[in-house]
Copies of this chain bind each other. A is one copy, B any other.
Amino acid sequence: MSLHPDSSLTRLFTPRSIAVVGASATPGKIGAMPVSLLRQHGYDGRILPINPRADNIQGLPTAPDLAALDGPVDLVILAVPAAQAAQALACARPGQVGGAVVFTSGFSETGESGVAMQAALCDIARSRGIRLLGPNCLGFMNVRHNVYATFSPAPANGAVAPGGIGMVSQSGAFGAYAYCMARERGLGLSHWISTGNEADIDVADCIDWLARDADTRVIMAYMEGCRDGGKLRRALAAAREAGKPVVVTKIGRTQAGAQAAASHTAALAGDDAVYDALFRQYGALRARSIEEFFNLGYALDTWKQRPAGKRLGIFTISGGVGALMADEAQEAGLSLPEPDLAAQARLLERVPFAGPRNPVDVTGQVVSEPGLLLATADDMLADGRYDALAVFLAAAGSSEALWPTFETFAREMRARHPNVPLALCALFPPERRRELERLGALVFVDPSAAIRTIGAVSGLEAGDAVPEQVEDAATSDAGSNALSRSGLQRDAYNEVQAMEVLREAGLPVPDCTLATDADAAVAAAVRLAGPVVLKVVSPDILHKSDIGGVKLNLSGEDAVRAGYAAILDSLRLHRPDARIDGVLVAPMAPKGVECIVGVHRDPIFGPVVMFGLGGVFVEVLKDVSFRLAPFDHAQARAMIGEIQGYALLQGARGAPPCDIDALADALVALSRFAHVHRNDFASLEINPLLALPEGQGALALDAVLIPNTAVDAQ
């Protein structure tokens, strides 16, 4: 983990002095809340109320404005109307103020005049070296250092415990609710940050800073959109490098949600599928609901040791619920290996009618023989075949008489099997639940939620490698060839040129020749020494086959010559106007599975690579996966495996399995090319990219490359 936190954010989030502009003595007022919260929670830095109309606020002497303060102020809280905010900051001397939190609304979220006011505020802050949180935000809390720079009433109704979760939310309302949920569920926070309008500091900045913050182990983030895709990527990479899992909720999964999000944020939210790809790529766990958001945060925070792999042991006192848990485990991608045969035998010795496989079902017997609990778990876990253990205790959890058994169980499990995190499913009274959590166990009421959560957080460390960095890739292989030095041409590419570009980018393409007369076509066919295909190449013809522009499977000089003539005849007849660059001579393609690969430029995240299967898969089922370019072989394999039609590549319907490694290599090469030339092209599609049988590679058979003619092209 590299410890280079943004020191300006560190000064803002861990201030030694806080000025409150618009500090008020009237309880409940937005300017009264921070002063009283800071004092109530024992903040031990300086609190400097600023109010030109009062000498004294809540017992503290005031200053009329920032200029009247002698020393440096790490943090300024602005709780004045929008129109006065810029003016208040303008009183600061350059370097005097580290950061400002702007509670006030009425800026960019309200329309044009608000946008202008926000820009003016930013200008003043920038000119004085002040970092801005907000405006239109609920502020932040540094829970461990008692910094309550917020006017949210949430902490007044009860403070969360200090802990390892750094929480950041673009939305104040979501953030306040999440704060209350954390309190209810007993999660401990390091920081709570709401970013609001994100005039300067955004969610990505906070993730990046929390990734390097020593008090934070787990990051929980809520976002509605993002304006700087590269920054978000770097932030997620920093968190991954630091070994801090990121749980993220982003709105706008569906069309209805995206529409609602767009009208709410009035900002470009971007394509949700691209965010989804981003989160997968950087190992961030995307939560679809607030419940899931908290289940994930809860597991990642409570378990000091996370499951190293996907092998789950299920231990139940109800065979039926065990089966329900097995259902969920399969859907969550967990495996359920059986216990060692010797362990099964020991289990059956103890409880003859038990289910000795996995789920291991010791039946209600455990109620009269509490020792079964630990004995069974010991047997299951003796040979290290499980990465986590989920236990369903049915109604027994509510039994006061059995509490000592459960408490001992959790304690001993931690002592004897520290590498096998434990989840208990039962209805415990709240104080019992907290006790078990302190012993390192998760407690769930719903066993299915327990399994889903385990599935999501299992094997996180496995894919530990940080994805290729945006900055680094420019110096990679794809960047060192002729194309990248010169950039792509500005004119449209014909098929031959497009294929040539792909070849230089390292993609497998057939040995094609553009023939401009029949002799050249014959020569090319002779050189290829096998049946060939002829295809007209013209910028004016999209559907070549429809007008006789393609001839397949031609063998021998005569056939090639005749085919060439037939194509030209047909074109003269059907499209006398068309410009003709020539006729492409290529070997007949072998049999394979047709895939479609595309690259488009996302306005936020740059080039995005799409993968899918040909035919109905892309066109009807929209069965595609995405990754942000560039990416590595493992990511490419993952994106291939994500599509529903994956079985077809594995050899469905009696066909041989495809060369998935070669397919992945092609995707990697394309992703590097797309990254290096990210400003040069608008879109690129390879259709089909043929997946050949295992060991035989892949082959790009046709490509369309549209150069970028936009102003940002270099």
Contact = CB atoms under 8 A, between A and B. Distances in A.
A323 interface: yes
A395 B153 contact: yes
B264 A322 contact: yes
A435 B665 CA distance: 61
Nearest to A427: B180
Contacts of A635: none
Interface stretch (A58-66, A646-654, A656-664): A646-654
Interface stretch (A139-147, A238-246, A327-335): A327-335
Contacts of A447: 289-290
A357 interface: yes
B257 A180 contact: no
Interface stretch (A79-87, A92-100, A248-256): A248-256
Interface stretch (A376-384, A615-623, A680-688): A615-623
A334 to B, nearest CB: 9
Interface in A273-329: 288-292, 317-324, 326-329
A355 interface: yes
A696 interface: no
B324 A289 contact: yes
A224 B361 CA distance: 15
Given A427-B184, A648-B620, A652-B620, A323 B261 contact: yes
A157 interface: yes
A394 interface: yes
B322 A260 contact: yes
* Main SS at interface, chain A: helix
Nearest to A318: B173
A171 B320 CA distance: 7
A448 interface: yes
Contacts of A258: 323
B254 A330 contact: yes
Contact of A290 (B170, B324, B331, B621): B324
Contact of A152 (B172, B254, B353, B395): B395
B645 A327 contact: no
Contacts of A110: 352-353
B645 A318 contact: no
A154 B327 contact: no
A173 B324 contact: no
B395 A176 contact: yes
Contacts of A222: 320
A331 B254 contact: yes
Contacts of A403: none
B177 A653 contact: no
B291 A448 contact: yes
A323 B251 contact: yes
A650 to B, nearest CB: 10
B395 A318 contact: no
A262 to B, nearest CB: 9
B261 A320 contact: yes
A399 interface: yes
Contacts of A644: 621
Given A153-B399, A256-B327, A448 B290 contact: yes
Contacts of A489: none
Contacts of A555: none
A192 B330 CA distance: 31
A249 to B, nearest CB: 7
A464 interface: no
A449 interface: yes
Contact of A177 (B173, B179, B394): B394
B394 A176 contact: yes
A125 to B, nearest CB: 24
- Most interface-central of A110, A324, A652 (chain B CB within 10 A): A324
A568 interface: no
A26 interface: no
B109 A330 contact: no
A452 to B, nearest CB: 9
Nearest to A335: B256
Contact of A173 (B290, B395, B449): B395
A398 interface: yes
A364 interface: yes
Nearest to A169: B320
B260 A177 contact: no
Given A289-B449, A448-B289, A616-B615, A224 B174 contact: no
A468 interface: no
21 contacts: A110-B352, A171-B319, A173-B319, A173-B320, A173-B395, A176-B394, A177-B394, A179-B395, A180-B395, A224-B320, A224-B323, A251-B327, A254-B330, A256-B327, A263-B355, A289-B324, A290-B448, A619-B652, A621-B621, A621-B644, A621-B647
Given A173-B320, A173-B364, A174-B320, 8 more contacts: A222-B320, A256-B330, A257-B323, A260-B322, A288-B328, A289-B449, A291-B448, A619-B652
Closest 4 CB pairs of A and B: A173-B318, A257-B327, A264-B319, A289-B448
